[in-house]
């Protein structure tokens, strides 16, 4: 039996993630890397094995090896999640009868607190951007759109010109699982959008493209481009450890909730499928409300 026999349905699984689950290339690449790493461990430790012969103690041994190598519990859980997804696919396609990970419990991880940008930090970034050029007004539009809509990085990248309805002040976003949602645009974003579109149409070097955001060479923007853009601008005004598009999404939700926005409304704007995912953002809101309560309550001002 050839060494690759362990993962005979492997390519089919990747096709399934792309075509049926509609996962991004970035996500699929991460799944593939985790599974290849597991395959290498199995082959090096136990030799050539049939997929149905892999048992939980052997997988557990991989977990122990990862832990002893200094890999964090969070990263180990992600790798095991990839493996569980693969076994679910094999069950779905009736290539195995049971999953060796059916009773596995994720390793405990410390709660990860995302610290949002302050309103002042966002304002400082916008004030620093020179929007007198195509690149400048594009960058300003991207920052404003992230902060005013809370969209995901991949959602922003895939916005098409036809998704932007400036007349009605609405943006159509294609979210996870190809689920569409419509997000209202505030007046200042509409104004920046109009300016960007003028620059875009007047810049002769740019080729025709259906996508809204383009690089200076006329290519569709990509994930690392967007990450660097946000990280570079916010590094100038913020000392926070993490400065990413996701933190801007987090800031959007936190600031809305701080101002008294309804949790269900924020859930819809973010494109979350469950309220539990949105409740993560209430941590900072409660902290802000506690601060306001402490400073404003008349009993607290009494000696």
Catalytically annotated residues: 152, 176, 246, 249, 272, 281
The helix (H) or strand (E) run that includes residue 173 is strand 170-174
- Strand, coil or helix: 107: coil
Alpha-carbon gap, residue 169 to 119, rounded angstroms: 23
Report the DSSP pairing between strands 180-184 and 170-174: antiparallel
Q: Cα dist. 161→181, 190, 197, 271 in Å?
A: 16, 14, 9, 20
Contacting residues for 211 by C-beta, under 8 A, at least 6 apart: 157, 158, 159, 160, 161, 220, 221
CB under 8 Å to 111, separation ≥6 — which residues? Answer: none
Distance, CA of 16 to CA of 249 (rounded, Å): 29
**Three-class secondary structure of residue 205 per DSSP:** coil
Dihedral angle of Cα 282, 284, 285, 290, to the nearest 10 degrees: 120
Q: How many CB atoms lie within 10 A of CB 251?
A: 23
Query: CB within 8 A of 16, min separation 6: which ones?
Result: 89
């Amino acid at each position: 039996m050839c060494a690759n026999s362990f993962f005979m349905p492997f390519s089919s699984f990747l096709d399934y993630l792309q075509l049926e689950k509609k996962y991004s290339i970035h996500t699929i690449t991460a799944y593939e890397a985790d599974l290849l790493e597991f395959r290498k461990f199995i082959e090096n430790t136990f030799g050539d094995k049939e997929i149905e012969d892999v048992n939980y103690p052997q997988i557990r041994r991989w977990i122990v090896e990862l832990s002893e190598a200094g890999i964090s519990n969070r990263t180990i859980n992600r790798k095991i999640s990839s493996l569980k997804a693969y076994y679910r696919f094999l069950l779905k396609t009736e290539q195995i009868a049971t999953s060796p990970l059916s009773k596995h419990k994720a390793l405990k991880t410390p709660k990860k607190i995302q610290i949002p940008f302050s309103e002042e930090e966002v304002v400082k970034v916008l004030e620093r951007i020179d929007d007198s050029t195509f690149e400048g007004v594009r960058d300003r539009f991207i920052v404003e759109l992230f902060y005013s809509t809370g969209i995901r990085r991949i959602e922003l990248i895939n916005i098409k010109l036809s998704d932007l309805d400036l007349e009605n002040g609405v943006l159509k976003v294609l979210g996870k699982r190809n689920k569409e949602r419509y997000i209202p645009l505030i007046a200042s974003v509409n104004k920046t959008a109009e300016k960007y579109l003028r620059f875009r149409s007047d810049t002769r070097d740019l080729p025709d493209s259906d996508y809204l955001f383009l690089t200076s060479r006329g290519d569709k923007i990509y994930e690392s481009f967007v990450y660097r853009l946000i990280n570079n601008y916010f590094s100038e005004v913020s000392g926070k450890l993490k400065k990413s598009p996701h933190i801007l999404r987090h800031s959007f939700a936190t600031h809305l909730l701080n101002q008294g926005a309804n949790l269900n409304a924020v859930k819809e704007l973010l494109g979350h499928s469950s309220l539990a995912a949105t409740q993560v953002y209430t941590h900072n809101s409660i902290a802000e409300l506690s601060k306001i309560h402490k400073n404003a309550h008349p009993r607290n001002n009494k000696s």
